[in-house]
Chain A
Amino acid sequence: MLFNSVAFAGFFVLVYAVYWRLPKRAQNLFLLAGSLFFYGCWNWRLLPLIVFSATVDYVAGWKVFRAGTPRARRLWMLASIFTNLGLLFFFKYYNFFAESFSDLLALAGLRGSLSTLNIVLPVGISFYTFQSMAYTVDVYRGQLEPCRKYTDFLLYVSFFPQLVAGPIERGRRLLPQIVRPRDPLSLPRRISGLKLLVIGYFQKVAIADTLGVITDAAYANADRANVAVTLVAFFSFTFQVYCDFSGYSKIARGTARLLGIELMLNFNQPFFGRSTQEFWRRWHISLSTWLRDYLYIPLGGSRAAPARVYTNLMITMLAAGVWHGASYNFVIFGLLQGTYLITWRALERRGIGPPRTAPGHVLCCTISVLLFAFSLFFFRGADLAESLALIRGFGVWEGALGLEALLVLFYAALSLALDGFLERALRRRRSHFLGLFSRNWVVETLAFAALVVFTALVGENHAEPFVYFQF
């Protein structure tokens, strides 16, 4: 059930209408039933998996909390981590490692192989296992008390707005909201939820899906790419993936807000980040902060010798790459991000940081975006050969930029304008000259109505899956 389908619209209207009419005690159970139904619509056979993952962490959380000795606490936490990573490894990475192992043996001139399995990748497994696992670690660290009711915890793991593609929530933030009875929503709050939905659907349906058609056409011609095709693919996919995922996150936040629950901000104008470091503080924030809190800092973080810090950065970004999927392409994507971060940091150590002037700011933002966009060749390519073929297109000076390049430019500008102006206004930064949107309710309403009309009239006319649903 895609967020951009009629089926989801029907489902959500029904959930919303019933949910707010139920007594407070029954609301969570109803949301849980709705969430499991939502997940079951993808593949009901995989429902036991999410229930199993949640049950393991619920039990582990209590065991950690009640364990008498530090060793026992540690063992229970490790049990949770190994179970979750084991699930992830089996469903997502087993075939990749089996194939890589065989390749490695072949390189060494040896024969032998691990047989691959025909495994279905459960939707959202990377998201819910990370969320569930983080809970146990938080309990272990004493940052969170274990959840009392099992059904509340199951809802925390399976809450449908963020189940299949995040944001990866933390127990500290989401669980108290779930446990606490929810007050009726005020009209302004409901409208702010609707606004998030409007922007989210605009980003997804009007921008990302339209750019998706162009990106698909470009990648389908990777083996005969020229500079025109490569440039179109380069920019088109960058803005497609941003609007797709950012749109999804806003729809998730909007639907959750309409149900009285606040989800974390997942994107914060990433293309306005002045370095790769700033970029990752603004892009897929729930993943980057997860990796920071549960991997980078435990590895030693930035409080170490430069070589150690660089190693920590590389390991973290490699994990970020591999988190996306099991292929060499994602390994390279992660390595590139690690390299970018290390380079920026090394420059900063030598006193070459982002300049404070406006032109310098624009230059640094542009460099940071272009570097990221380049790494996306590996993110989007079906395999290494396709990515490299498209990159080679930069050297083939044939072809001409056609009108599709204009479309990409138009949508990129629209995406940046939306990010820079409307979102900023939405967060009531009145200092901005377009704070007019937030000061004048008529202008603001007309702007949002225009977004609705634009989405409806020029959006792609089919429910295209979200890019991040494959993770």
Chain B
Amino acid sequence: MPSPSSTSSSRRARRSLWLGAAVLAVVQAGLYALDLNSPTFFGNQVVSQKYTEALRMVREGPIDVVAVGHSHTVNGFDPAVFEEVTGLRAYNFGLPGTDMQSHATVLRDFVIPHLKPRIVLWNLDPVFGERAVQQSNRRMLSSDAFAVQSWPGGHALLGPLKDLFLYQKRSVDGWFETLADPYVRRYDRSGFMPVYQRLGLEEAGVEYDIPADWLARKRRWRFPVANAIPRRREPAGAPVVVEGDAERREEARATVAATLAEARAAGIEVLAFAAPMARRRFMVDDEFTREITTEGTGSAAWFAELVTEHELPFVNYGYFPPISDDDDLYYNDAHVNVYGARLLTERLARDLVLREEPVPPELRGFPSPLQRRVMEEFRAR
């Protein structure tokens, strides 16, 4: 027979469990009601959000075209414009800060088996050798969302899991920013749409209700982790190793080759493109210009090989005067705003998908003749 003290401690334990469960349920309900979205740039939230959106879209009807790549795709490819021009339904599967290994993994594990598009638009743009990018990329690949989607039937779990507050993890500063900022709270659905692009939307007449002092307040609220810590730059002249470190590079190459073969076997056409950088980006002799000119190192040389070896239809808009020369189409040196995205998407649709005209020779190869020309122009000064 249990002693009175053990009965009372059991009762207390049971009550404690119920109270704890109730508190957690209230928190979950509160978060649900607030409809908060993670301001974190990388990790589970973006991946699971993308997967869930894509699955929802494919349930409504077949997706014809999927664009994969990193931030250049996120910002540069507009599915609505694409549909306007081609009549094809498209999904933007860009994942910011990721490299070819991530793109290939997403294609192989998710896009090819579950979305079954007719065409894949693959954005071949280097990500630069910052450790931070490589670490983020690894984090993305080792995130729970990637693990869960690889389980049998796991992709169907991502939707419900996404809504659990465990999946809404964000840093202290992220919460501070979110709660303090009505703009982020209301509109930043996935947290990776950069501020300047959103300002571009506002200029375009989209009602986004941005407070006048938003930028100033944003600067005040931000908690940059590396505030006092300078970011490491590669020494001048050093070979730039991107797309993961040297060890992972072979792995990435193998994954990309296997994925391309799988796509072909599934009857999917893979088309490749590079997104335009602002003209001023070519002025400085830095990682970027070295990356696209140094032969035998970095991603550019690999991309060139890839295009030739797999006979991928390819357009290099890396330097594309109608977009690159117009600063009003950018919110920073590397990323176009909504106007730039509209132009780029239209060109992609016409040049690469509809193939209204053959790709001119100055938009072929890595680097393209146009890229070489603009760099030489700046060097000559």
Given contacts A217-B225, A403-B224, A404-B225, contact A442 B40 (CB under 8 A): no
Q: Does A400 lie within 8 Å of B43, measured CB to CB?
A: no
What is the interface of chain B, defined by CB distance below 8 A to chain A?
Answer: 6, 9-10, 12-17, 19-20, 23-24, 27, 38, 40, 42-45, 131-132, 135, 139-140, 142-144, 147-148, 161, 165-175, 223-232
Interface bits A174-210 vs B (CB < 8 Å: 1, else 0):
0000000000001110110000000000000000001
Question: Which residues of the other chain, A, contact B43 by a CB distance below 8 angstroms?
Answer: 461-462
Closest to A453 in B: B27
A448 at the A/B interface (Cβ < 8 Å)?
A: yes
Q: How many residues of A contact B (CB 8 A)?
A: 46
Q: Does B10 lie within 8 Å of A187, measured CB to CB?
A: yes
Q: Does A232 lie within 8 Å of B228, measured CB to CB?
A: yes
Q: Does B228 lie within 8 Å of A405, measured CB to CB?
A: yes
Q: Does A6 lie within 8 Å of B131, measured CB to CB?
A: no
Question: Which residues of the other chain, A, contact B231 by a CB distance below 8 angstroms?
Answer: 221
Q: How far is the CB of B98 from chain A (nearest CB, A)?
A: 13
Question: Which residues of the other chain, A, contact B15 by a CB distance below 8 angstroms?
Answer: 441
Q: Does B224 lie within 8 Å of A402, measured CB to CB?
A: yes
Contacts between chains A and B (CB distance < 8 A), count: 130
Q: Does B166 lie within 8 Å of A456, measured CB to CB?
A: yes
Q: Does B229 lie within 8 Å of A217, measured CB to CB?
A: yes
Closest to A449 in B: B23
Closest to B36 in A: A457
Looking at B24, B165, B171, which has the most chain A CB atoms within 10 Å of its CB?
B171
A5 at the A/B interface (Cβ < 8 Å)?
A: yes
Closest to A190 in B: B13
Q: Does A213 lie within 8 Å of B16, measured CB to CB?
A: no
Question: Which residues of the other chain, A, contact B171 by a CB distance below 8 angstroms?
Answer: 210, 458, 460
Contact of A458 among B140, B147, B175 (CB under 8 A): B175
Interface bits A1-26 vs B (CB < 8 Å: 1, else 0):
00001110000000000000000000
Given contacts A220-B131, A456-B165, A457-B168, contact A6 B147 (CB under 8 A): yes
Q: Does A445 lie within 8 Å of B19, measured CB to CB?
A: yes
Q: Does A460 lie within 8 Å of B223, measured CB to CB?
A: no
A218-B228 Cα distance, complex, nearest whole Å: 9
Q: How far is the CB of A204 from chain B (nearest CB, A)?
A: 13
A459 at the A/B interface (Cβ < 8 Å)?
A: yes
Question: Which residues of the other chain, A, contact B14 by a CB distance below 8 angstroms?
Answer: 187
Question: Which residues of the other chain, B, contact A400 by a CB distance below 8 angstroms?
Answer: 228
Q: Does A224 lie within 8 Å of B170, measured CB to CB?
A: no
A229 at the A/B interface (Cβ < 8 Å)?
A: yes
Q: How far is the CB of B199 from chain A (nearest CB, A)?
A: 25
Q: Does A221 lie within 8 Å of B229, measured CB to CB?
A: yes
Q: Does A462 lie within 8 Å of B44, measured CB to CB?
A: yes
Question: Which residues of the other chain, B, contact A224 by a CB distance below 8 angstroms?
Answer: 230, 232
Q: Does A404 lie within 8 Å of B227, measured CB to CB?
A: yes
Q: How far is the CB of A254 from chain B (nearest CB, A)?
A: 15
Question: Which residues of the other chain, B, contact A229 by a CB distance below 8 angstroms?
Answer: 228-230
